[in-house]
Amino acid sequence: MALSIGSRIVAFKLKNVDGKVLNAEELSKGKQAAVIIFSCNHCPYVQAWEDRMVQLGKTYGSRGAAFALVNANDPVKYTEDSYPEMIKRAKSKGYPFPYLHDEDQSVARAYGATRTPEVFLFDVQGTLQYHGRIDDNYEDPKQVKSQDLKDALEAVLAGRTPAIVETPVVGCTVKWK
């Protein structure tokens, strides 16, 4: 079961694609919000939302929100989700945020993540304010009617509770070992 709204950010210590280890405290230090997105390389839903995730990271990173993608997929089952492939993906897509490897899947389990992409947005106090999807249309960015993560970020950065705190998560299942 996923973290419930109001839960505290779960501590983690994961290896980034730059080879450095990053923890939750370092990620969110001095930030007004922290966005943790469980992701991977191979999932068509992730690929469909990927450019939007990058744009959100660029836009809101400069406004005080920390972003990190976390890949917990089993690379034995999906070699395209291996750490070396993560490095290539982050570079080719120009990720403006860390892309972290949850090799033992403990972080995904602690958050209760079950899908990719799956968003967890925390406020400045480290309290979960939004859980769910990026927006309501992975297939066509021009047909988006509800920009769920963007709207939640706007609220959190303004010190408000998002109007919508939870949305259905759409995506591939996490590939457990």
Domain count, the chain: 1
pLDDT, one tens digit per residue, over 118-149 is 999 999 999 999 999 999 999 999 999 999 99
Q: Which residue matches tokens 């990720």? A: 95
pLDDT band at 1 (very low <50, low <70, confident <90, very high): confident
Whether residue 2 lies inside any domain: the answer is: no
pLDDT, one tens digit per residue, over 65-80 is 999 999 999 999 999 9
Whether residue 135 lies inside any domain: the answer is: yes
Q: How far is Cα 97 from Cα 163, in angstroms, rounded to an integer?
A: 26
Q: Which CATH number do you get for residue 36? A: 3.40.30.10
Whether residue 5 lies inside any domain: the answer is: no
Q: What's the domain range around 53? A: 13-173
Whether residue 3 lies inside any domain: the answer is: no
Q: Which two tokens stand for residue 128?
A: 């979960």
pTM, two decimals, is: 0.98
pLDDT, one tens digit per residue, over 6-24 is 999 999 999 999 999 999 9
If one counts every other C-beta atom within 10 angstroms of the C-beta of residue 72, the result is 26
pLDDT score, position 27 = 96
Whether residue 104 lies inside any domain: the answer is: yes
Whether residue 6 lies inside any domain: the answer is: no
Residue type for 99, please?
Y
